[in-house]
Structure 1
Amino acid sequence: MISKWLFSGAFVFELGSWGALFQEMPIGAAALLFVSAHGISSALLAAGVWLLLPNRYKYPLPWSPLFIFSLSFFVPVLGAIGVAIAVFPALYMPRTQKEQAWDAIGVPDLPFRPQERSRDLMFQDGGLQDVLRHAPSAQKRVSALFATRRMPSKDSIPILKLALRDPADDVRLLAYSMLDRQESEINHRIQVSLQQLADATGAHKAAVHATLARWYWELAYLGLAQGSVLEHVLKQAREHVNSALAQDAGDDSHLLAARISMEMGDLEGAEQHLLDAQVAGIDLEKLLPFMAEIAFSRGDYTAIAQLLRQLPEDMLTRPPFAALARYWL
């Protein structure tokens, strides 16, 4: 309602300003009257239009109403008509908005725990490694490290090692602390088992030797030990597993001894341990993959296919044997 009165006043003052030019009066007085009436008309028009504008066009003040006033005041007649032609159709006949076919959303943050792992895929850490290699945001790379907390250690440790080369201090320190925590947990278990070994006797002592062999092997298997430390860890694992076997610790110790020997490059010893494990009653399907790995290390590629054919059909359709079967069989 206020806008209508403002527009009406603007129209009346605009007519009055032009009427002053046709009156018989001095030129100076007529010009002053014209400018005054035209200025009041432009101000009323600017105020009325400003009240009708959407909020996003009203601000910032005073530039929005001042722009409308300038168009009307400095372009006599055509300025006011131009403002009316530009504004009123847009206010009273807005363009219909087309239905939006898609919504733009931001890139979601990485989860702090891994998504459910599909059994159809052998590896699922490639995405996190790509984030560590290519993400420009250090916060996203930190989120990638947090996402490894509930992953199996064998999958998470290569990702953490990759983060040790990150240019950001926060990422490197977090990766180092997470690796150090896993290594400290295993070393703590080793220390506890060594204390138990001092007082253990009989079957209990054999079990402690087997436990120590597994924890030393875990350090090597997970890649937490390297160089001379790796050699020391493997030697300790071999000594304890041999002690466990000497005291009849259990059939699975033969398999562990074979894996340790394979890691140390002793293929003959590993093969003998696998044969001993088979004699001890361990299922052949558990031993065949390691036998095939020994054959590959020796370059006996014909034996690999023969060994893999002895695996059950359902095993050959599941990772990681599905890819091996497609290549070798």
Structure 2
Amino acid sequence: MISKWLFSGALLFELSSWAAFHERLSVAQATSLYLGAHAASSALLAAGIWLLLPRRYKLPLPWSPLFIFCLAFFVPVLGAVGVAAALFPALYLPRRRQEKSWDSMGLPELPFRPQERGKELMFNDGGLQDVLRHAPDTEKRMAALFATRRMPPREAIPILKLALRDPADDVRLLAYSMLDKQESEINLRIEAALRQLAVAEGAHRTALHDALARWYWELAYLGLAQGSVLDHVLEQAREHAQRTLDVPGNPYAHVLAGRIALEQGRLETAANHFSHAEAAGVGAPTLAPFRAEIAFLQGRYAEVRQQLAALPSETLQRPPFAALAKYWL
């Protein structure tokens, strides 16, 4: 109701402003009377329209009503007519909302963890490697590196090594720092164990040999050592593991020694270690992958199938055994 009175007042003031030129007044008086009446008409029109506007168009103050006032005041006649013609239909005859038949969505960012994990063969680190090889955006390639922090080191390190050849300095430096951090942590543990070994005796000394064998093996297993350094690391792991084989109650010492021998290419020695481990109580499914590898390297392919068949069905559904089972079984 208030808006209708404001619009009526705006119309009366606008008509009276033009009536000023029909009176016998001087130019200055007629102009002053016109401008005063026209300003009052524009102010009433702006106030009436502002009251009818939706809330999101009323703010910020005072710019919203001032904008309407300027349109009506600085364009005589046509300004008020234009404001009325533009706003009144929009206020009283709003456009109907149509139902959306589709939703527009942006491309999702690279996730830092899998959303679901099923029993089927999962999407592996090949996806991150493809991002590093083909993604043009440096930020996406760096996001791929950050995603490796939640992956096992054995799977993450090949991706980090691939990133060392990236054309962007930021990506290369990030990959180098992540690799260096993992290697430094292992080397610090080795140095601490070697210092303790110099003064240790008895069971503590044996435990230190076992820990050193595992840390040296970790350097080789993760691919953090290459070339002659790898040979040295494996030899150190073998020497320390050898000192733990005769300790009762540690059957997995033979498993570690067998894996080291297998990595060094001493297949017969590795097979003997795995036999000792099985005799000490290690389950055959635990040893089956290593025995299958020995059989493959020796050309006994029928035994490869037999060893893989001994693995549990759940293990054969997960990488890397899923691909092996698909080929051999």
Q: TM-score range by the shorter chain?
A: 0.7 to 0.9
Question: Who is 2:197 aligned against?
Answer: 197
Partner of 2:86: 86
1:66 matched residue in structure 2: 70
Q: Which amino acid aligns with 2:216?
A: Y
> CA separation in 1, counterparts of 2:39 and 2:95?
32
* Residue identity in the other structure for 1:229: V
Q: Deviations over 1:131-150 (max 9, x none)?
A: 66638364x76666555545
What is the CA-CA distance between 1:91 and the residue it aligns to?
2.3
Tell me the C-alpha RMSD between the 2 structures: 4.4
Once the two structures are aligned, what percentage of the paired residues are identical? 57
Q: Secondary structure of the equivalent of 1:303?
A: helix
Q: Give the whole-Å Cα distance in 2 for the aligned partners of 1:137 and 1:190.
A: 36
Cα distance in 1 between the residues matched to 2:23 and 2:178: 95
SS of residue paired to 1:291:
helix
Unaligned 5+ residue runs, structure 1?
Answer: none
| 1:136 paired to 2:140 | no
CA distance in 1, matches of 2:58, 2:91: 12
- The number of residues matched between the two structures is 323
CA distance 1:315–1:34, shift in 2 (3 Å): closer
- Residues 90-149 of structure 1: CA deviation (Å, up to 9, x unaligned): 2244345456788878888878888786665556555665666638364x7666655554
The 1:314/1:8 distance shift into structure 2, 3 A limit, reads closer
Task: Give the structure-1-normalised TM-score.
Answer: 0.72
What residue in structure 2 maps to residue 51 of structure 1? 50
TM, length-normalised to structure 2: 0.72
The Cα of 1:194 is off from its aligned counterpart by 2.2
Q: Secondary structure at the match of 2:223?
A: coil
Does the Cα contact within 8 Å between 1:183 and 1:224 map onto a contact in 2? yes
State the Cα deviation string for residues 36-91 of structure 1 (Å, max 9, x = none).
588447634653355334453766575553234345x163xxx5444323322322
Unaligned runs of 5+ in 2: none
Q: Residue 237 of structure 1 aligns with which residue?
A: 237
- Correspondences of 1:68-217 after superposition (within 5 Å): 68-70=72-74, 73=76, 75=78, 80-97=80-97, 120-121=120-121, 125=125, 134=135, 136=137, 138=139, 148-149=148-149, 151-165=151-165, 172-201=172-201, 205-217=205-217
- SS of the equivalent of 1:245 reads coil
CA shift in 2, pair 1:265/1:109, >3 Å: same
8 A contact 1:10–1:41 mirrored in 2: yes
Change (3 A) 1:88 1:201: closer
Q: Distance in 2 between matches of 1:298 and 1:280?
A: 25
The answer (yes or no) to whether the contact 1:114–1:148 under 8 Å persists in 2 is no
> Is the CA contact 1:18–1:34 (under 8 Å) kept in the aligned structure 2?
no
User: How far is the alpha carbon of 1:292 from its aligned partner?
Assistant: 1.4
